[in-house]
Amino acid sequence: MKILKSVLQVRTFVNVLRLKICIIWRCLNDITMYNPFSLENKTILVTGASSGIGRGIAVECAKMGAKVVVTGRNKERLFETLSLLVNTGHSAILADLSSQEGIEHLVDEMPLINGYVHSAGILKLCPVKYIDRSVLEEIVNTNEIAPIVLTSMLVRKKKLVKKASIVFIASMSGVFVTNTGESSYAAAKGALSGFAKSAALELASQGTRVNTICPAMVPTKLSGLFDTAFSDGGVVETAHTKYPLRRVGTPEDIANGVIYLLSDASSWVTGINLLIDGGFCLM
């Protein structure tokens, strides 16, 4: 009788222990699974994904669980980006966004999306007195007209699912500060920020959010143009001294802001210019 009692006690103890372990395991799982920044079950279009910031955004979005549609003009570099994406279900579409046909081709080929990140852009430095129509048109065409026309077409062709998020990579130049030689570029980026605010208001009724990110210097092919444009050189090399946080940016710094704006963590955020600048604008 005594032996039976102790066996029953041991059994009860083991069962209670099992139950407790089970509860702790579930709690731990809930804690580790909880991630308001997750991009699971979202399909995201990233333009300018063949290089620099756009490539970084595509790579980080895939790590957060998104299916990514990458687009750019250079086939080799675009497919290199595709090969860098973790998990499966990603795709690549070649398109030149400076033409109407290029934009139409992209929209026709792409699936329904939950998010659109426009990183495609060009920088051409030109002092005010040398600006002519052709330089201006080239800059405005890629940096301003392309994202506006693409947004309009995505809405018209119903390519955005409900509660979609649009993120434009603008610049601190033209929205917060600017620099000599950048007037055309700043004009295009400032206009893009203005468009984003108005579009945010208009598309809010469908739950679509529209925001811009305004980066300071991130060494890429594009920012490297500063060095070739200025005769004293070394602009990118010495840039970190102008940043309170003592470094220039990385594509990942920008991608982390993009992930926030694409994710449900920012579901009450629309029409903002998110400045990511290492403190540059404080000085």
Ligand X SMILES: NC(=O)c1ccc[n+]([C@@H]2O[C@H](COP(=O)([O-])OP(=O)(O)OC[C@H]3O[C@@H](n4cnc5c(N)ncnc54)[C@H](OP(=O)(O)O)[C@@H]3O)[C@@H](O)[C@H]2O)c1
The binding site for ligand X (CB under 6 A) comprises 48, 50-54, 72-74, 77, 96-98, 119-123, 142, 169, 171, 215, 217-218, 220-223
- Give the nearer residue to ligand X in terms of CB position, either 138 or 264: 138
| Count of other CB atoms within 10 angstroms of residue 110 | 19
> What's the closest the beta carbon of residue 237 comes to ligand X, in angstroms?
14
> What's the closest the beta carbon of residue 56 comes to ligand X, in angstroms?
8
- Give the nearer residue to ligand X in terms of CB position, either 96 or 264: 96
- Give the nearer residue to ligand X in terms of CB position, either 38 or 98: 98
Cβ proximity of 117 and 125 under 8 Å: no
- Give the nearer residue to ligand X in terms of CB position, either 124 or 197: 124
Q: What angle do CA 38, 41, 42 make, to 5 degrees?
A: 80
> What's the closest the beta carbon of residue 226 comes to ligand X, in angstroms?
8
> What's the closest the beta carbon of residue 28 comes to ligand X, in angstroms?
39
Cβ proximity of 85 and 58 under 8 Å: yes
Radius of gyration of the chain from Cα atoms? 24
- Give the nearer residue to ligand X in terms of CB position, either 117 or 200: 117
> What's the closest the beta carbon of residue 25 comes to ligand X, in angstroms?
43
- Give the nearer residue to ligand X in terms of CB position, either 64 or 248: 248
> What's the closest the beta carbon of residue 131 comes to ligand X, in angstroms?
18
